[in-house]
Amino acid sequence: MNADQLAVGAATTSPKQEAAPSLRIRALMLGDRINASGLEIGALVSSTPAAFRVHAGLAVIFRYGVVVLIGLLPSEEKVLIDNLKSRVTGELSPFEEEIAQAQLCNDEAAEAIQPGGPICLAKFSDDRLLLVADALAKSTSLARDERRVAAVFDVIEPFARELAERGRTPRRRKGILQLIGNALLVQQRVAGRVAIAEKPDVLWEKPELDRLYSRLEDEYELKERLDTLERKLTAVSETANALTDIIDTQRSLRLEIAVVVLIVIEIAIGCLQILTGTH
C-alpha cells in the first residue's frame, strides 16, 4: 500500500468533524404589551430593548408584547414566562410563537441565513443576538397582525358579496364599526408600538452590524410584509368607511321620508278639521 492509499484510509476512519455550536432562539408574543419597568430577572445587558442575562442565556423583552428567549432550557423558559405574565396587558391564548437556530460560522463575511437553515453568526456576542432578537420579535408580531387582518377580510367578504349580488348593504352597523376598530388597532400597533420600519438602537453604536441586520430583514421579509399589511389595512378602512357611508345615506333617506310622511299626515288632519268645521 502506497502513501496516498494510507492517507485516504486515515481520512475515512477519522472521527466526524464536530458540529458548530448553536443556540435555540424562541420568540413569544405574550400579549399586547409587556411592562419591563423595574424588572429584575438577571444582569442587565440592554435597556432598549430590555435584555437580561438569565442563567447561561439571554432574555430580550419588547414593550409591544414579545419576549425573545435565547439559549435557555425549556424549564427555564417556563419559569421566566410565568414571572412575566403579571406584567402582560391583553394576554394572548395561545401565544404567538416563532423559533430559530443560531450557529457559529467562520467569519463575519459568512454571516447569513441559509434557506431553511440556521442563522450563521461570527460570534454569539450580545450585539448580534440583540439584532436577531429584534428581527424575530418583529416577525412574530407581524404574523399575529397578518392573521388579524385576514380575519377582518373574512368578515368583510359577506358584506361585499351581499352588496354585489343584491345591491343591498347589511344592516349590522355595529359589525362594520368593529371592523374599523380592528383595523385602527392594527395600524396603531404597527405604526406606534412595533415600528417595524425602524432599525434597532444597537446599530447606532455598532454600525458595522448593519449588513447583518439587512440580511435578517431580507430573510424574514419584514419590509415586504409591512407594505402588504399596510395595503390591506388601507383596503379594510376604505371598505368599512364606504359601507358606513352607504348605511348613513340610507338612514338619512329613511328619516327624510318619515319627516315627509308626518308633514303629509299633519296637513291631512288640518284639512279634515277644516272640512268638518272643528277646531
**Residue 71: CA count within 13 A, CB half-sphere:** 19
Q: Is 215 exposed, middle or buried (0-12, 13-18, 19+ CB in 10 A)?
A: middle
Cβ-based neighbours of 24, under 8 Å, separated by 6 or more: 70, 71, 72, 99, 101
- pLDDT of res. 117: 74
Cα–Cα distance measured from residue 160 to residue 168, given in angstroms and rounded to the nearest whole number: 9
What does the domain layout of the chain look like in residue ranges?
22-123, 143-250
Each residue's pLDDT expressed in tens, for the chain with a length of 279 residues: 444 443 434 344 434 445 568 899 999 999 989 998 889 889 999 998 999 999 889 999 999 899 999 999 999 999 999 999 999 998 988 899 999 999 988 766 677 777 767 899 988 999 999 999 999 999 999 998 888 888 777 777 777 777 777 766 655 667 667 766 776 676 666 665 567 778 888 898 898 899 889 989 988 999 898 888 888 878 777 777 777 776 667 667 777 788 888 888 888 887 887 877 655
For the chain, report the end-to-end CA distance as a whole number of angstroms: 134
Q: Helix axis angle, 173-188 relative to 222-276, nearest 10°?
A: 150
Answer yes or no: pTM beyond 0.85.
no
**Contact call for residues 136 and 68 (beta carbons, < 8 A):** yes
Half-sphere exposure of 242 (CA within 13 A, CB side): 12
What DSSP string describes 151-180?
HHHHHHHHHHHHHHHHS---S-HHHHHHHH
Residue 17: per-residue pLDDT: 45
Q: What value, to the nearest 5°, has the Cα angle with vertex 88 and ends 144 and 35? A: 110
* Identity of the residue numbered 191: A
How far are the Cα atoms of 57, 126, 131 from residue 135, in angstroms, in the given order?
Answer: 18, 14, 6
Q: Which three cell numbers stand for residue 4?
A: 496516498
